[in-house]
Amino acid sequence: MSHSICILGGGFGGLYTALALSKLDWGDEQPEIVLVDQRDRFIFAPLLYELVTGELQTWEIAPPYQELLANTGVRFHQSGVEQIDLGAQQVSLTDGEQLSYDRLVLALGGETPLDMAPGVAEYAIPFRALEDAYRLQERLRLLEASDADKIRVAVVGGGYSGVEVACKVAERLGDRGRIRIIELADKILQNSPEFNQKAAHKALSDKDIWVDYETTVTEVAAAAISLSYKGKIDTIPVDIVLWTVGSKVSPALDALDLPRNQRQQFTIETTLQVAEHPHIFALGDLADGLDAAGKTVPPTAQSALQQADYAAWNIWASLTDRPLLPFRYQHLGEMMTLGSDNATLAGLGIKLDGNLAHIARRLTYLYRMPTLDHQIRVGLNWATQPIQALLTSASGNKSA
């Protein structure tokens, strides 16, 4: 009798677990592997910023699941999660489908909370999903087409996401842009290497991006944002508010009676199994636990990528009576984009910034894309872009 493995969430944790499971040797006991996600495309989130400036196209960073899972034996089911019955080991989906499982993988990732101040849900734009990037693009397009002298953008949060999207928007808008970052702490990128902090400060200064430190948002309106600094509230006009702070576990899992921490993340063992529930695995943003060396695993894409290989192996091991492996996290460094042709990279004894870091970042992410076929398609496109640009330029000059 074949086993059933149900994976909820098609981000780095879920998709890469599914792909790793499909490559293991199951012998004659090939299990049914079902990947569930409410969207039809995987999002390579670290490259989402490049959509803002048009450096990359949707197909490059958001390939369809059906394309990625072709010929893998993994079945993709597009739907949301309605309910999980732990006793019956069954998942009810929002489209009415019922999935039974022998092993369950929780990898739905996090969501950006939009209830942190009045007006955020109505007027601010988060920056986590493809739809967010499209919404920002459209808003920018309308403002660029208007007769507005200046386009004012407030980015809430001075972490990686806030700094990266601020740089991209500033580069796109050029002299018309008035960009400011609103940060609760007294510095940006407070948990990042000093090298990355310095590179980011220089990029923000070069692009005339203002940073409001030790500042909180008290309200967001249709064309204004209210900020609190040392007890004084100031309301300033704004055209776009981007919200990049906070993360919460998907509400679809709220009813699950499983061990959690104060942030509602699921408590996991070093084997990535949920505490006291060995047939359930959790990884990525919604999981909280230590690795084999006792280190806290950060809720990043890098962590989810590494956890996926271990989750797949341990699911296979648990179904084939083999010993499970404790997860060992390797911090491989931190990268961020600071505009087109500019990035910073710090890790494994390497420190790069500028164009060289931009090239290293692109190549690293190309290597980490989910399938060899997609890597080849994207790599060829990137390699031929300079030639295409040269031919276009030559054609234009000839016409003139």
- Rounded CA-CA distance 36/178 in Å is 41
> Any bridge partners for residue 301, and if so which?
none
- Rounded CA-CA distance 304/291 in Å is 13
305 with 299: CB under 8 angstroms? no
Domain ranges of the chain: 4-38+79-111+248-319, 120-243, 334-394
Tell me the CATH number of domain 4-38+79-111+248-319, given options 3.50.50.60, 1.10.3660.10, 3.30.70.100, 3.40.47.10. 3.50.50.60
pTM: 0.91
Select from 57, 10, 5 the least CA-distant residue to 284: 10
Taking only the tens place, the pLDDT of each residue in 382-400 is 988 766 555 555 555 555 5
Low-confidence ranges of the chain (pLDDT < 50): none
| pLDDT (0 to 100) of residue 380 | 93
| pLDDT (0 to 100) of residue 2 | 83
| pLDDT (0 to 100) of residue 37 | 97
Taking only the tens place, the pLDDT of each residue in 147-159 is 999 999 999 999 9
Select from 78, 109, 129 the least CA-distant residue to 243: 129
| pLDDT (0 to 100) of residue 317 | 96
If one counts every other C-beta atom within 10 angstroms of the C-beta of residue 307, the result is 27
Tell me the CATH number of domain 120-243, given options 3.50.50.60, 3.60.60.10, 3.40.50.300, 1.10.3720.10. 3.50.50.60
| 4-38+79-111+248-319 shares its CATH topology with 120-243 | yes
* Phi, psi values for residue 82, rounded to 5°: -95, -50
- Rounded CA-CA distance 269/260 in Å is 12
Q: Which positions ≥6 away from 17 have C-beta within 8 Å?
A: 7, 105, 107, 283, 308, 311, 312, 315
Q: What is the full DSSP assignment across 110-151?
A: EE----SSTTHHHH-EE-SSHHHHHHHHHHHHHHHHS--S-E
